[in-house]
Each structure stands twice: as C-alpha cells, then as structure tokens.
Amino acid sequence: MLTKRRILVFIFDLVLISMSLCLAFLLRFDFSIPQPEINLFWECLMVVLVVKPLVFIAIGFYQNLWNYASVQDAIEIFKGVSFASILTAFAVLFLRQFTPVPRSIFLLDWFLLFAFLSASRLIWRVYRESYRFGSSCEGPRTLIIGAGEAGSLLLKEIRRQMHSSYNIVGFVDDDPEKKGMKLHGVPVLGYTKNLRAIIRLNEIEDVIIAIPSADNRTIRTLVDSCRNAKVTFKTLPSIGELIDGTLTISQIKNVEIEDLLGRDPVVLDREMIGKYLSGKRVLVTGAAGSIGSEICRQIAQFRPEKIILLEQAETPLYEIEKELTASFPDLRIMPMIADVRDREKVMAAFEEFSPEVVFHAAAYKHVPMMEYNPAQAVLNNVFGSKNVADAAHRFKVKNFVMISTDKAVNPTNVMGATKRAAEIYVQALSLASSTKFTTVRFGNVLGSNGSVIPLFKEQIANGGPVTVTDKRIIRYFMTIPEATQLVLQAGNIGSGSEILVLDMGEPVRIVDLAEELIRLSGLTPYEDIDIVFTGLRPGEKLFEELLLDGEGIMPTSHHKIKVLAPVEIALDPVMKKLEVLYATARSNDLAALMEGMMQLVPEFRPTYSFQGEAPATFQRVRPDLFASALTAKAKILPIRKQ
C-alpha cells in the first residue's frame, strides 16, 4: 500500500475532497458564505477528511490500476463516494446533535467529489493513451477491415503498446451507417468493395482483417483484393479460436489456408455443453494428438472437476499437460501414460478415476501407414476402442463420445474399415448399456498431424514440387477448433447409440488447396512451385462419402450436426466375429484378417485380395503383405480400380 505513487494519489484525493466540500458551500451560498455557516464548514471539513479517506482505503480504492481506468472503475468510484458521503452526512448530523444542516451541501459535495475523482482518473488515462498513440505512429500505415467489436478491441490493444508495429490510419466496413464516422478517433474510410482504391489513396502498407465471424468466401475476396493491391495482409483468429473473448496483438497472424476454407463460425449452445461437462470428471484418450489436445483445451473452458489425459506418447503428453496447467492453474489435470490396447490398464484407469464423461480420440489414422500395418490397425482402432467402450459400460460412465471418420463409409482401406468396425461395436454395445454412447463422424481436419497442409508447407519451403496424388481427388475439410467444438456439442445431443455427422460444407479439390497454399506463400503455382501428380496411394479413394447406403439423416438441435437413423445391431454376432478377428490380428494372419474384416464390415471392399502369388506391382507397394502372402502361398489381386 505504501508506495510512492499511491501516497501521492492519496494526498491528491485529500485535496479533491477538500475542494469538493469548499465548492459545495460556495455554490450553496452563492459564493458568499454567512459567518454562522463558517463554523459548519470547518466541522464538515474535519469530518470528511477523516471519514472519506478511511472509507476509500477500506474498500480498496488504491488497489486499482488507474492506468487502465474503465467504466467498471467509474462504477467503483460511484459506490465508494456514495457510501462515504452517506457516512459523512450521519457523522456531521451526530456531531451537531441533529441540528438542521442544508441538505443540498451533501448532494453538491457528493456530485462534485464523484466528478473530480472520475475526471482525475480519466485524465491520467487519456494522457497515457495520447502518449502511446503518438509513439505508435512509426510503424507501417495500416488499415483495419471491420469497424465492429473486434476492430475496436484491436485498436485499443494496439494503442496500449508503447512501441506498436502498426500505425492505424483508418477502418473499412460495409455498414452504411459507419461510413464517414470515427471509431476511437480513427475514420471509417469506406466499403470493402472499394478496398483497392482506399489502399492506393491512403498509401496503405498493411491490412488487418478484423472480422472473426467472416465466412471463407468473404475472406477469400478480401485476400484477393489485398494481393492485387500488393500490400501485406493479416487476420485475427476465428470466433472458435477466440472462445474466451480475449484479444491480444500476438494473435494477429498471417492468413492461412484454414482461414480461406473453414471460417464459417460455429455457434455453440454453451449452456447445454456446460450441463454435462462443468464440475464433471472427464477422460480423453489420445489426449496429446491434434484432435485430442484441442478437445482438452475446449473442455477446460467449461471448468470440469478434473481432466484425465490418457496417452501413450510421453513427450506430447508432457507438452499438453504443461500447456493446460499454465492456462488453467485451478484445473485438476491427471496425465496418464497408457495404451488403449492394454485392457487391464484401461480398466484400472476407469476404476481409479471414475470418469463421468469420456472422449475417445485415440486412433491410428494414416491411411497408407495402416495399409502397411493392418494387424496393428485392427488391434488399436478396433480392440483399443472396444477396451475403452467396455470400461465405460462397466463403470457406468454417463457420456461416451467416439471420434470416427468419413473413411468409415464404404471403406476401401484398412483404416476406414477399422473405424467402421469400432462404430458397429459401439452401436451394438449401447443397446445393452446405461451409458450414452455417441459416435461423431467427420472428414479431414486442416492442420492435424499427418494432414496434407503440413506436408504441402514443407514441400513449398523446400522449393517444391508439391505432390498431389490425383488431379480429381476431393476431400471434406474442417478446422481443428470447429471440429472439436462440434464434438463437444454432439456429446449431449441424442439419446445414445446414434452416429452424428458434422456438416463439412463443400468438398475441396486437393489440387486447389495446393495452388492456394502456394499463392499464400507469395509464389505462383506451376511457375515458382510445380505441382506433381503421383497417383492414388494404396487404399485411397477419389472422394469420401459421409453416409452409408440406407442410412437416413435427420436434423438435430444444432444446424451443423445431423444424426443418422438409429440402427439396431445385435451384440452377440458382433462379439463372435470380433473373437475371430482378434485371433487373426494377434497371429498376423493377414489373409484371414482381411476376410474377418469383410465379415464384420460387409461394405468393406479392400483394394487387394489374397489368393496365389503376388504381382510385381504389389511387391513394390506393399512389401510387408507380399512377404506374408508368400508365407501363406497367397496371391494378391486387385479387386477393383478407383
């Protein structure tokens, strides 16, 4: 409390207290105080100099940072001055033995002191803001697109920096009521349709797109205008990434491919999500993966009682645990190294921590890698999921959410077939369980581990070429925050046993993705960076479906989440097929393994079958299966071409 600055502020407030009382008397008596009232003035002055400072100290008046005075601080001043004035009035009346005292003096004194204190704090902040604003004009001339809440917050944050790298000269906004107006003293120069002309006339060097709710088409149009005007352009995170409502200068980032493809905002029913996450024990498998880690970040926003991070990779688990601990110091976090294939360990984790909500994100997901290792894909994706689902059923978990994929629909690869097998088991188990089992199916996630975006960026950084398997190949894409937020929302939709499908928007050609990424790097496709087509990889399809034949689709309470018509699957036949499949996976009998997968997943059409000798092309593509096929005296033949 006893710092030099606070003592000076306290002394200054004593002066203001004296001035307000003196001016109140002068105003009350028309600047000519009668002699009998002089004694009243000195008595009142003695009281206010004792009572009001003590009240201000007691309520923590001098613990506020007046450098950042705001409306909330004005409210605190109002409360403090009002309380102190009421106490002063009673004290004066008590000392004068309730002799009549002009009431207008107390009202004038209250009003004047509130005005003086508020003005003193405001003037100090205005001085600092003006000083900082004057020192921030050294950076490049910058234009902010969006004169809304985000643009306002961004300008305030820039002005708070002593040496900001941005010199804001204007806004652009499509609201006709804002044109010609000023936001915090900065003019709104026009509409986005005139962006190139505004940039040229005002000699703009940098553009910041401050429209977190803008869709991908809007962002693409703005980026094209900036690119044609030959200025650098940056953007703010989307609404999903600004879920906590805060904004800092460090969040200004280069426009990424995710901004052009997945900017449609996700509006969550936070009350519904909070009902099944707040104060609950939540377990996340695959907690250190790209999807699992983002699920953990989103869950932490809803203040669960505890998050159990179940992960087999030690270093990534350490990183996400460290990040969550720093961001949410009051949250109980339990990192647990375990493999979902270890049934006893999974059961022990559920028994020890008694989770109420489970998000199962652990899976092998790389299609070509699982084509090389089908037995491991089955053991992890099918039986790892079975272990977690069985534990949830046994320990009566309330909500169980499994992450699936569009590759589970009419699968032609091992990875997709294993995820479909896991879906089948979870649906069958749900009919005999009190646990609410939900499966969420969505497509590719931009920026996730192993996705095409990191690969393309690496290839561009190395000077190319960028490799695309086929010019015709298309995929559905979502951003990581959008996908994980919808997973959280889906966890409390439906009554159980359903498969929920997320609205993936329009499919995107991979070659278009590659071309746009090259342009965002400031290069020209096919000139600076070439694009090479390598042919479809084993198990890869030209396009992915989201529905199986016969699966109906119905809307839910959230417009971006659809539910498939419930299908009743008998558990006993599924269990018998799984027993056979487990034996073949453990013995690495690949021919029997593929046959078992097709028995369990009738729509599975693998690229190759096992009969006789293997052709030379498959020896080169699948040496592991080729070696096993020779041992089994099998032949691998293509079933169908893409």
- Catalytic residues, which ones? 407
Peptide linkage before 304 cis (omega within 30 of 0)? no
In a 13 Å sphere around the CA of 46, the CA atoms on its Cβ side amount to 9
- Asked if residues 234 and 254 have their Cβ atoms less than 8 Å apart, the reply is yes
| Residue whose C-alpha is closest to residue 297's, from 165, 484, 460 | 484
Tokens of 232: 């650098």
Angle of helix 571-587 versus helix 590-600 axis, rounded to 10: 160
Q: Is 544 helix (H, G, I), strand (E, B) or coil?
A: coil
- Kindly give, in sequence order, each residue whose CB lies less than 8 Å from that of residue 350, ignoring residues fewer than 6 positions away: 283, 391, 392, 394, 395, 397
428: amino acid identity, one letter: A
Please state whether beta strands 399-405 and 636-638 pair in parallel, antiparallel, or not at all (unpaired).
unpaired
Strand partners, 167: 141
H or E element that contains 400 = strand 399-405
Q: Is the backbone of residue 203 left (phi > 0), alpha (psi -120 to 50) or beta?
A: left
Angle of helix 414-430 versus helix 590-600 axis, rounded to 10: 50
| Residue whose C-alpha is closest to residue 568's, from 443, 427, 435 | 427
Q: Is the dihedral of CA 104, 105, 106, 111 positive or negative?
A: positive
Integer Cα distance of 309 and 4 in angstroms: 48
Q: Is the dihedral of CA 483, 484, 485, 491 positive or negative?
A: positive
Residue 471: phi and psi, rounded to 5, are -65, -25
Q: Is the dihedral of CA 267, 270, 275, 278 positive or negative?
A: positive
Q: What angle do CA 453, 286, 597 make, to 5 degrees?
A: 85
Integer Cα distance of 85 and 117 in angstroms: 14
Integer Cα distance of 96 and 75 in angstroms: 32
- Asked if residues 449 and 587 have their Cβ atoms less than 8 Å apart, the reply is no
Integer Cα distance of 148 and 309 in angstroms: 39
Integer Cα distance of 17 and 23 in angstroms: 10
